[in-house]
Each structure stands twice: as C-alpha cells, then as structure tokens.
Structure 1
Amino acid sequence: MKKLFHIIILLSIISNTLFAQNKVTGKRPNIIIILADDMGYSDIGCFGSETQTPNLDAMAKSGLRMTQFYNASRCCPTRASLLTGLYQHQAGVGDMVNHRDVPAYQGYLNQNCVTIAEALKQSGYSTLMAGKWHVGTDPSHWPIKRGFDHYFGLIDGASSYFNPTMPYRPNQKLTIALDDKEFTPGPNWYSTNAYADYAIKFIEGNKNTNKPFFLYMAFTSPHWPIQALPEDIAKYKGKYMKGWDKLRAERLERQKQLGIINKDEKLSPRDKSVPEWDSLTPEEKEQFDTKMAVYAAMVDRMDQNIGRIRKKLKELGEEENTVIMFLSDNGASNETIKGPGFTPEVLAASNKPASDPTSFTSYGSLGANISDTPFRLFKHWEYEGGTATPFIAYYPNVIKPGSIVNKPAHIIDLMATCVDLAGAPYPKVYHGNNITPTEGISLVPVFKGQNWEGHNGLFFEHEGNRAVRQGDWKLVSQRPENKWELYNISTDRSELNDLSVKYPQKVAELEALYNIWAARAGVVEFDKLAKSKSE
C-alpha cells in the first residue's frame, strides 16, 4: 500500500511538471471560437453559397465540417449556452436580456455557471474577446467581469456598422466597450473590421506572456442592418437577379455535391411569405438584388477578417498550435425594420437603398429563405431553419483534412471541448458558488477521428417554440399552435413529412423526454412569463 502511495505521488508530480512545462512552452493549444450573427446554414461557400469565403473554405478543406450542429435559435440564448456549456435557461438567459423575477429568465449570466473564459483563465490561459456580448448590459455583467482579460466590442444586440452607438430604438443607449470602459468610435469605422483589429491586437499582446490564449471572436455580421463597404458590394451586384427559386435550387445542388446534404434531400417549399419572383416589378427585383449583394458583402468581409486573424497566427508561428471553430448563433433572420419599435429616423432610413451607408434595413424573408436553404423557417423557430448552423473545426495535424461528420452536436459541447483541449478542470465551485455541471460532451474525439457516442437527446425552447432531437428523430412544435410534429431527420432533414400520426408512441416517448428536460432546466411556459422590463 505504501509503495502504491509513493507511485501515485510520483505520477502526480510528473503530471504537474508536464502541465507546468506546457504552460511555459505554450504547447497547450490556443483556442479560437468564431461566431457569426444571424447567418444562415447555406451562406458560406463550403456549405453551398455563391458568396466568396475562401478563408472559411480553406479551413473546411484542411479541417472538418459538422453538418448537424445546433444552436439555440436566437442571439443571446445561444451566446449564454455557448459560453457556459449549459442550456440557456440554466445560465439565466432563457429568453432575451430582459429582467424577470424567474431565475431561468433573469436576462444575464447567473453565478451558478462559469464561462469558458473563467474556466480556462484558472488554468493559465489568456482570455480575449472581440465583438458582440449580448448576455448582460449592466457593467457588472460585462465580459471583464466574466473571466475575460481583454474585451473590445458591442455590449448590446445590434447596431449600425458605420455608426455603432447610434440608437435605433426609442430611449436606447448602445455601448462600445474597451475592457471595462466605454469607447467612442472614431472616423472610418466599420464594425467587422474594428472587432478584428482588436482581436489581432490582443493576440499580438499575448505573444510575450508565455501563455496559450482563448479568443472568442463574435462578429455582428451579417445581422441587420445590412450595411457593407462599396468595394465588397460591387463583387455581388447583379448576381441575384435570377430570383430566389433558382438561387435556392442552385445552393441545394452545391450542398449535395459537397456532401453536406443527402443526395435525395428535397428543397422545402418557398416560404409562404415570399411571392413568385416574376410577380415583382423590375424595380423590386433590383432592390432585392442590392440587398442580397450587401448581405453577401457582409459575409465576404467577415471572411476577409478571419483571413487577417489567421495571417497573424502564421506570423507569430502559432497557426499549427491553434484550434479554430466557426459557427453561427442562429438561422437566418426574417426580421424587418418596421413598426413602433424603431425610431422615426431609422424607419426613414429603412427605405433607402441598402447600398447607401446611411440606410438601415434588412433583407427579410425574401433573403432569409435563401440563406436557410434547404430548410424551413428562420431564426426564432426550432425547425432546422432556426437551429442548424454550419460548423467548421480546424486543428492542423490533428483533424483529418476534408472530414465531414454527420452526427448531431450542440453549442453546449463547446465548453467541454475547450476544457478538454486545454487540459483544464471544469470547476465545481467558483467564487464560492456551486457550479451547475456542464451539459456538453467534448468534441475532441470527433476532431481525432475517434468514436463519439454523442447525446441521448438535444433540447430546444425559445419563446414557446420547442423541440427535442434523439437519434434520427426530431419532435418539434411552434407557438401558438403548440402541436407536436415528428420528423426522421436522416431521410427528411427539411422537415416536410410529419410522421406524428403514424408513430404516436414515438411522439409520446420524445414528449416525455422533453418534459423531463424542461423541468430540470427551469423552462417556464412562455405565455405564463410575467411581462418584463428591458435591461
């Protein structure tokens, strides 16, 4: 027994020594998570788009794509879940950033969760963030208070790309922050460039620390308002005059050729809110073409900045030791700039051509239906059009180039993946608070081409829209109908053939599974939630 004890002590010393050596030499990988905002499943080249995204495509070619990766169907719930490895309700952001007296819906990250930054910082990582926060607007909830060493970006949910502190809603204040102080944007600002500028500065500033770094790069692109730089718009003007039906069909065909959609998958019908292309006037067609050109230019510019970040990694000799993961926070947005929720100035600006930098508009259902090819519906709903994201992972000398993985995975898995990559413990207690165990499963075995069992079930709820995915089966409903529909995702990814009547027992099984999860996660029926005061 005494000999065994000494062996255990010796192994512990060796383990700690290796850990310390890794800290000094930087052998533990740098980790970058890049999050796009309101970008649809088919909006980048390696997932079927005509948009030029050579940097993302190169990472996919040298890395892997997961074709059935899921988010939480809306901006701040996804961010809360991604950052904490919990379902958003467990982290306190069950809906949006609105204060409610219900713990699961308090509107900012609670003290019974940790962020990836908090977990990795304890294990010797530098923790960096640039871009959109959107999980707590009060300064006491900013990124610096949740484990990030450095932060630059938009605290709020959306803003103009040229004038980011200009309010677009009545009585609104928008904040750009540098670390824990408000920052005043200068001339020649374009948000996508500015956020990447600071991400690169933070990476450069870390080079003499002898620490690996974690970077959360949360672009606002291509969230409305759709605004882009003239040189980027020019690349796409005129490419969308063929109309949405043809564009969707072309994207689906490319997806099949790329191997990310089954060869026999059917295109979901054109959304009921989208008219026949030929019913539009020439002026309406040109207006749509301009909006799509601007939207594509936004994605293009984001990809250019991802290329700038990768270039900096190469210059610093860090690319071979950096894991990069890319995804979107929800499906494409069909939201429009209309109604009393916007200021009179913004409503007037919504009527300007999208190519005008003083405009403030969106591409609505007309564009979102293309972005979400081949799926139904959009951001906010729990159908694939709301929850499916393109996912790319790039890890030189670890991931087999060109890998395609079809197993379902979820944003809750990113926390477990990061602590696994970092060799960091997931804390049980943090700052005196008991921490809810992570819901995720590390994707590192997936990256290494090893067997990965995945989840027994994945769960979704947003403002009364619900879903559960188990194996090939998906049960989904939308508010206010609240009627369960059943789909076999392996043969019907577009969710066109409802099998709920044919397989009532399967509906009952999955509904029971959902109800157990909803009670555990703190989900409250949306219509019963008290009216809240916006944060």
Structure 2
Amino acid sequence: MPGRLGGSRRAAIIAIGALLGACPVQAQPAKPAPSRPNIVILLADDWGFSDVGSFGAEFATPHIDALARAGMRFSNFHVAGSCSPSRAMLQTGVMNHRNGLGNMPETIPDEHRGKPGYDTVMNHRVVTIGELLQAAGYRTYLTGKWHLGSDAARLPHARGYDRAFSLADAGADNFEQRPIEGLYDKANWTENGKPATLPKDYYSSRFVVQRMIDYIEEGRASGKSFLASINFLANHIPVQAPDSDIARYSAMYRDGWTALREARAKRAAALGIVPAGAAMVTMPTTPDWRKLDADERAAAARVMQAYAGMATAMDREVGRLVAHLKVAGDYDNTIFVFLSDNGAEPTNPFASLRNRLFLGLQYDLATANIGRRGSFSAIGPGWASAASSPLSGYKFSAAEGGLRVPLIIAWPGHADIRAGGITDGLAHVTDILPTLTELAGVAGHGGSWRGRAVEPITGRSLVPMLKGGAGSVHGDAPLGYELSGNAALFRGDYKLVRNLAPTGDGQWRLFNLKVDPGETRDLAAAEPDRYKRMLADYRTYAKANGVLDMPAGYTADEQINRYAFEQQGKPRLIRFGLWVGAFVLLVSGLIWGLRRRRRAKSGWALSRR
C-alpha cells in the first residue's frame, strides 16, 4: 500500500532526525519555503449550515473549529442546492449554467438533455483552479468525490490535477468498493484517469486524507507549493461511520429533530452566526416526532448517531492532515478552505415500498446495524431540518437551508486573514477561485486560455472581507441562481426565491436575510417595488444564462427515482425477465420431454398388446 509505505518513510525520517538531533552536527542552511502559499480545500458532502461546532453543532468537530479560530467564518455563504453544480462553480469561478451543470445527470428531465448549459458534466469552456495553479508552477492533487464527468477527457487528471484518486459518481459505500445499489452498477473510482481498486481496510474519510498525504510527500522534493483538493464522501448517503464514532453518541438524539433544531438555533445565535432570536419555520415535510412509535424513534436516533459519528470521523482526518502539515513545516504557509457542497440531504430512500423491498435485499437494515458496514441509511427530512437550523429548507431547494452552508478560510498567522472573525456579508461559491488566486499571487484569465475563448470568471475575490471589511464584495449587485426549477435572486440584504414541490408551491417570495435568515416573513406585498425590480433582475439573469423552465409536475426526487429505474431498475427487470423466461422455457422443455417419453412408452405398450 502506498499509504503504508509513505507512513513508514515519514516515521523513518522522524526517527533519523531525532538521532541526529542528539549528535553534534554542522548546521545546514534551512531550505527556503515555497514563495507561494500551499492551498488545502476541504469539501464536505451534504453538511448542513449548523453541522460544524463553530456554527452550532452539538457533535465534535474540534479540528475544523480550530481552523475557524485561526481564520474567518462566513455566515452568509451560498452554494447550489445540489453537489455537482456547486463543485463545478468551486472549480471554475463560473456560474453553473455556464460551466455545463445547469442540471445533474441524476436530476435532469429528458426535455433538457443536450440543451446549452445542460451538459450534466463540467464542460470544456471553463478553466479549473487546478489548471490555473498547475500553469503557475503548483503541484496539483485531488482525492475523493469528483462527480463532474467520468470520461477520460473530463476526469480530474485531464482537468489540471497532476495526481488524482477520484470517484466519478454522486456517492458510494464508505467501507468497500461498492456503489449506491440501485443507482449505479459499480463504484467508479479512478487514479490518474485509470480504474483503481480500493484497499481492504478502506474507510472513505481516512483514505482520501491518507492518499493526499502520500501525494504531498511524493512530490515534496520538487520544492513547489501544492494545491490539495480533498473531497470527502461524508456525510452523503449512505450514512456510515466506524463503530467507535457511532458509540460516542449512543446516548444522544432521543428527544428528536424538533428539539435539536431549537437547540442548534440557540447555539448558532450565541456564537454570533445568526441574529439572536431569529425566527424559524417548521418544514411541511418534517414528521412529528411525537407520533413515531418506539421502534421508529430508536431507528431514527441511531441514524443521527451514525451521522454525528461520520462527521466526527471526517473531522479527525482533517486533524491528522493538519498535524502532518505542522510536522512538515507547511502549516503556517497553507491556506485552508472548508465548506460543504450544499445543505443537508432530506431524501428518505425508504419512502416507497419498491425501494424498501429492493434495499432490504441488498443491505442489512436492522436498527443495530445502522451506520455500520453493510448498512444503508439516511437522516431524512426530520434530521435534515435540524442540520440546517435555523434555516428553512435543505438540499435540492433554493431555500437558505439548501444554499447557505458553512465556509471557513484560514491562513494561520497571516495578516491577510483576521483570525477568529465572522462576516455576515453575502459570499458565493464562485468567489473561492478568485480569492485563492489573489492570495496566491496567481493570475486568473480574462476569458481566454491557451489561445481559445473560455467563460470569464464571474466570482469576486473575498480578500476585502477576509481582512475584516464590512459588508459584501457583491454590494448591491444582483446575483442569480437556478437549479431544477428552484431559483433565487440575491441583492444586498434581500433575497427573492421560488421553490417547487415538495418544499414550495412555485410562488416567488421576498425576504430580508439580514434580519430574517429563516425566511419566515414574506415581504412581497409590503415592498412591491423591490419585488418587481428583483423579479426583473432574475429574468435578466435567466435569459443571459439560458435557464429553461421545468416540465409540469417535475420534482427532483421523482426524477432521481426515474433515473435509478432507467439506469439500474429497468436493466435488472429485463435480466430478471430473461432469467424467468429461460427458466420457464427450461421447465416447459422438461415437461414436454417427460410427456413425450410417457406418450412414447404408452404407444410402445399398446403395440405390444
């Protein structure tokens, strides 16, 4: 295993260093540090707004919280409502309809396939942060979830990353090389563009960090600064964690999601993440905890215990990476970016009888096995509402709970980032690329890259906010967004938003996020002029970005189920039908043969009379 070899090498180096330190040797001049900062991107999957201790979580994330103390927390940072569009915007600084992710493969309706901006993969009209930093002399590495294209020309090794061990799918098992059953036929892991095999002792968070440490050490002799993009599977479905991490929370979550949502809101306010006393809504899809029977409550509590354990397991790996960088002397010259790709996942895979029957055949669904190897579980809309507290909505929606996630940027000891600060100015995922290139002293591009026209970067550098500047770098400029029919227009402190079923009714609403981040008071009637101006701003954005209207009756949940059936359900039914047909033919042939022999015997007996 490369990881084990790497660990052995590091242990040997440390041991030799200790021995040399005990002996009088001639001092050697220190090797100069790279002139540019290293960059570490820590991308969590499906973490809600308050799923970090420094944003209000009750479970342990001490290492991420330490980065928060060393840097700046953004309490008004927005991404897309689903993973791939966010990831493409993070990679390119370009809005999702321009970078090809107007929708994802799993959620796009057939009517939109092939239309401009609806490639369902990151297109070649954009330049990635890997390509920019690679051209500037950086070592560039990526591990973990990619989900931006699976063909050879679209995998990370072809998009600016020197080394990459990546998963092309939306998610996969965390303990073995196994897909999400029913959604994919295999777990599409590759290394440097070639099919790869996971180790037998694989656990996702541990593996993606160890592989990154290996890459960093293998390239250390070059003396170049590095970009390390670590893309965790935690806490995407299936929710899974080591037994010890689940056990840590065995006494928690028995009071249910409503109590947790309220407790998180209080902590977030006490931390200064949201205004004190911010109002909250109860999502219509949130079940009543009091109406669950004892077995249902036990299973629900166990799922959240596993979710908390999965987050803590990931945080521990972040701490291991940071400790390694400190020992290696890299820590002070490294910019850390921590964020989630969207809000908490509300999907309940067991909502339909068909899914329950199918998953029951594929996994051990016993309550005692939830979160363990061989399990399949998800927190559902109840716990997702708590993970998003005190915001409304969750993943897939354009409500704040779907779009607003934690962001931490730290450059330890560096004057450009105010340690321990919190900013409530509007920030967007497209802002990350220009922020990092400015801090690194690397030129971006002006819409032209290596002799060809490309989409210009639309994000704005957050450096003024990192230095403690008041307000947002976006000022009063309109900032539009759309995915799967759920849409928003941000302008200053205000947000115009529309959500389709099941989290909305398709009507536009207006909120002042400064005082009402929970989106509880619709101001459309009270401020009609602002409402009309922002609606006009949205229509301008939609036209400029080629946004298409959704087919009647569309919902992302139904489309995912349809995609799963088309990709896996239908082929399995066909194979099952062929197997049944072959079996019927075989049995029919046997019966026919038996009858023929009986008739033959009867005829022979008659002829003997």
TM-score (normalised: structure 1):
0.91
* Cα drift, residue 448 of structure 1: 2.4
Per-residue CA distance 1:219-269 (angstroms, 9 max, x = gap): 010011011100100110121112222211111111111011101312322
**CA distance in 1: counterparts of 2:364 and 2:428, whole angstroms:** 35
Q: What is the match of residue 449 of structure 1?
A: 468
1:460 partner amino acid: Y
Q: What is the match of residue 408 of structure 1?
A: 426
Runs of 5+ consecutive residues of structure 2 not aligned to the other structure = 1-30, 569-609
Rate the CA distance shift 1:524–1:396 in 2: closer, same or farther, 3 A. same
> 1:290-301 counterparts in 2 under 5 A?
290-301=302-313
* Cα drift, residue 343 of structure 1: 8.9
RMSD: 2.3
1:423 partner amino acid: G
CA contact (8 A) 1:468 1:476 kept: yes
> 1:136-155 counterparts in 2 under 5 A?
136-155=149-168
Q: What is the match of residue 373 of structure 1?
A: 389
Rate the CA distance shift 1:343–1:520 in 2: closer, same or farther, 3 A. farther
Picking from 392, 403, 406, the partner of 1:390 is: 406
* Cα drift, residue 420 of structure 1: 0.9
> 1:109-120 counterparts in 2 under 5 A?
109-120=122-133
Residue aligned with 1:300, SS: helix
Rate the CA distance shift 1:116–1:534 in 2: closer, same or farther, 3 A. farther
Per-residue CA distance 1:76-98 (angstroms, 9 max, x = gap): 11111111101111001110036
Picking from 168, 172, 184, the partner of 1:159 is: 172
> 1:46-65 counterparts in 2 under 5 A?
46-65=54-73
Rate the CA distance shift 1:193–1:343 in 2: closer, same or farther, 3 A. farther
CA contact (8 A) 2:426 2:471 kept: no
Rate the CA distance shift 1:167–1:299 in 2: closer, same or farther, 3 A. closer
- Whether 2:515 is the aligned partner of 1:487: answer no
1:69 partner amino acid: F
Equivalent residue pairs, number: 512
> 1:61-80 counterparts in 2 under 5 A?
61-80=69-88
* Cα drift, residue 274 of structure 1: 2.6
**CA distance in 2: counterparts of 1:127 and 1:494, whole angstroms:** 39
CA contact (8 A) 2:426 2:472 kept: no
CA contact (8 A) 1:168 1:342 kept: no
CA contact (8 A) 1:74 1:330 kept: yes
1:201 partner amino acid: D
2:318 partner amino acid: I
Picking from 223, 243, 248, the partner of 2:261 is: 248
Rate the CA distance shift 1:92–1:305 in 2: closer, same or farther, 3 A. same
Rate the CA distance shift 1:239–1:342 in 2: closer, same or farther, 3 A. closer
**CA distance in 2: counterparts of 1:206 and 1:458, whole angstroms:** 40
Rate the CA distance shift 1:24–1:169 in 2: closer, same or farther, 3 A. farther
Per-residue CA distance 1:147-175 (angstroms, 9 max, x = gap): 00111131211111112333512662321
Per-residue CA distance 1:18-59 (angstroms, 9 max, x = gap): xxxxx9841211111111101101111001011100001111
CA contact (8 A) 2:280 2:519 kept: no
Q: What is the match of residue 88 of structure 1?
A: 96
CA contact (8 A) 2:79 2:428 kept: yes
> 1:331-350 counterparts in 2 under 5 A?
331-338=343-350, 339=352, 344-345=358-359, 348-349=362-363
Q: What is the match of residue 546 of structure 2?
A: 522
**CA distance in 1: counterparts of 2:68 and 2:379, whole angstroms:** 27
Q: What is the match of residue 498 of structure 2?
A: 477
Per-residue CA distance 1:284-342 (angstroms, 9 max, x = gap): 22111110100000100110011011111111101100000111000101112245579
**CA distance in 2: counterparts of 1:342 and 1:138, whole angstroms:** 32
Rate the CA distance shift 1:390–1:276 in 2: closer, same or farther, 3 A. same
Rate the CA distance shift 1:289–1:478 in 2: closer, same or farther, 3 A. same
Per-residue CA distance 1:331-374 (angstroms, 9 max, x = gap): 10111224557993566527333144211121101210110101
- Whether 2:487 is the aligned partner of 1:466: answer yes
- Higher RCO, 1 vs 2 (CA within 8 Å, ≥6 residues apart): 1
Identity %: 34
CA contact (8 A) 2:130 2:227 kept: yes
Rate the CA distance shift 1:121–1:500 in 2: closer, same or farther, 3 A. same
* Cα drift, residue 195 of structure 1: 0.7
Q: What is the match of residue 351 of structure 1?
A: 365
Rate the CA distance shift 1:373–1:468 in 2: closer, same or farther, 3 A. same
Higher helix share: 2
Residue aligned with 2:77, SS: strand
**CA distance in 2: counterparts of 1:120 and 1:24, whole angstroms:** 20
1:223 partner amino acid: H
Rate the CA distance shift 1:192–1:499 in 2: closer, same or farther, 3 A. same
2:98 partner amino acid: Q
**CA distance in 2: counterparts of 1:57 and 1:244, whole angstroms:** 23
* Cα drift, residue 275 of structure 1: 3.1
Runs of 5+ consecutive residues of structure 1 not aligned to the other structure = 1-22
After superposing the two structures, state which structure 1 stretch, 34-43 or 271-280, moved more.
271-280
Per-residue CA distance 1:177-199 (angstroms, 9 max, x = gap): 11111111221211111111111
CA contact (8 A) 1:164 1:191 kept: no
1:209 partner amino acid: S
* Cα drift, residue 209 of structure 1: 1.1
Larger Rg: 2
- Whether 2:194 is the aligned partner of 1:175: answer no
CA contact (8 A) 1:349 1:361 kept: no
Residue aligned with 1:468, SS: strand
**CA distance in 2: counterparts of 1:244 and 1:214, whole angstroms:** 38
Q: What is the match of residue 449 of structure 2?
A: 430
> 1:252-271 counterparts in 2 under 5 A?
252-269=265-282, 271=283
**CA distance in 2: counterparts of 1:51 and 1:410, whole angstroms:** 26
**CA distance in 2: counterparts of 1:484 and 1:499, whole angstroms:** 11
CA contact (8 A) 1:76 1:97 kept: no
Rate the CA distance shift 1:372–1:83 in 2: closer, same or farther, 3 A. same
CA contact (8 A) 1:129 1:151 kept: yes
- Whether 2:228 is the aligned partner of 1:210: answer no
**CA distance in 1: counterparts of 2:443 and 2:371, whole angstroms:** 48
2:37 partner amino acid: P
CA contact (8 A) 2:424 2:471 kept: no
* Cα drift, residue 395 of structure 1: 0.8
> 1:40-51 counterparts in 2 under 5 A?
40-51=48-59
CA contact (8 A) 1:97 1:534 kept: no
Rate the CA distance shift 1:110–1:346 in 2: closer, same or farther, 3 A. farther
Q: What is the match of residue 602 of structure 2?
A: none
CA contact (8 A) 2:183 2:567 kept: no
Rate the CA distance shift 1:171–1:199 in 2: closer, same or farther, 3 A. closer
1:352 partner amino acid: A
Q: What is the match of residue 537 of structure 2?
A: 513
Residue aligned with 2:285, SS: coil
> 1:321-332 counterparts in 2 under 5 A?
321-332=333-344
Per-residue CA distance 1:368-393 (angstroms, 9 max, x = gap): 01101011111011110100001111
CA contact (8 A) 1:170 1:343 kept: no
After superposing the two structures, state which structure 1 stretch, 509-518 or 346-355, moved more.
346-355
**CA distance in 1: counterparts of 2:81 and 2:179, whole angstroms:** 26
Residue aligned with 2:209, SS: helix
**CA distance in 1: counterparts of 2:186 and 2:215, whole angstroms:** 27
After superposing the two structures, state which structure 1 stretch, 213-222 or 418-427, moved more.
418-427
